[in-house]
Amino acid sequence: MSIETNKEIIRQFNVEVIQNGNRAAFEALVAPDFVNRSAPPGAPNGPESLWATFEHVLRPALSGLRVTIHDQIAEGDKVTTRKTISGIHMGPFAGVTPTRKPVSIDVIDVVRVRNGQYVEHWGINTLPSVLAALKA
């Protein structure tokens, strides 16, 4: 697949899956053998744990959840994306009761794409500092 096609797959995942919670898009865009290389040690790192992060953690906590892609750089079968996930903290979020404050989580992801699907993910984000600020 072309680099531009791989970048479009990442854009589609961010909008359809993370932002909109579209399960059919998730099934189409994530390979059954997907591995999240950024999962905490000992935590599940397959497709269902990825879905659970969005559907049971982020989406219930952040009203009006939006994903804004700032940059994408691709080489070979990997796409690096710098993005912001934002919303209003209206539900429990990693043990923090709703504050009704705006939340912005900055993320840098590297995703390996094979045959139009996510097969590996590495990422870093500002979630720990966002949660610390919400608790303060």
Residues 123 and 90: beta-carbon distance below 8 Å? no
Q: pLDDT tens-digit profile of 110-135?
A: 999 999 999 999 999 999 999 999 99
C-beta of residue 17 within 8 angstroms of C-beta of residue 8? no
pLDDT digits (tens, 9 = 90+) for 96-105: 999 999 999 9
pTM of the model: 0.94
pLDDT at 111: 98
Instruction: Sketch out the chain's domains with CATH numbers.
Output: 3-135 (3.10.450.50)
What is the pLDDT confidence band of residue 18, given thresholds at 50, 70 and 90?
A: very high
Q: Cα separations (Å) of 57 from 5, 10, 92, 120, 134?
A: 29, 20, 8, 21, 15
